[in-house]
Amino acid sequence: MTADPPAVRLDEGALARLRELDPDGRHDVLGRVLRTFEASLARQLGVLQAEAGHGRATAVANLAHLLKSSAGSVGALALAQCCAEVEQQRRDGQAQGLDDDIQRLITEGQRALQAVRAILRD
């Protein structure tokens, strides 16, 4: 039985920048961005799970690239950093450890999902 990954929080600076786009909250910009990120990340994690065992480094690099900036913009900094590392390794042609990197991305992605969902529940 594996334990759930420890809870993480989204970066307050990134969240503050999103709140600045809608200071009075009338347009629910933060909520809309977080819900969009949540749905997109959940889909991309499914794709990553499907990639495990297939050895398609380019596909993993492309997914990591897609996730990197969106994760950073909502403050999921650990996920963004993991994405940057995995993307760079794959772009540099490193084939070793692909499944481990996929698992790292999935774990960080799940942690980011937990953090987003905690904010959306509040």
How does pLDDT run across 34-72, given as a tens digit for each residue? Answer: 999 999 999 999 999 998 888 788 899 999 999 999 999
pLDDT at residue 5 tops 70:
no
- Residue 7 near residue 111 (C-beta atoms within 8 A): yes
For the whole model, what pTM was predicted? 0.89
- Rounded to whole angstroms, the Cα distance separating 109 from 5 reads 10
What domains appear along the chain, each with residue ranges and CATH number? 12-121 (1.20.120.160)
- Rounded to whole angstroms, the Cα distance separating 117 from 39 reads 11
CA nearest neighbour of 113 among 2, 3, 4, 16: 4
Q: What are the two backbone dihedrals, phi and then psi, of residue 37, each rounded to the nearest 5 degrees?
A: -60, -45
Q: What is the pLDDT of residue 1?
A: 46
Distant-in-sequence, close-in-space partners of 14: CB < 8 Å, separation ≥ 6: 72, 73, 74, 75, 77
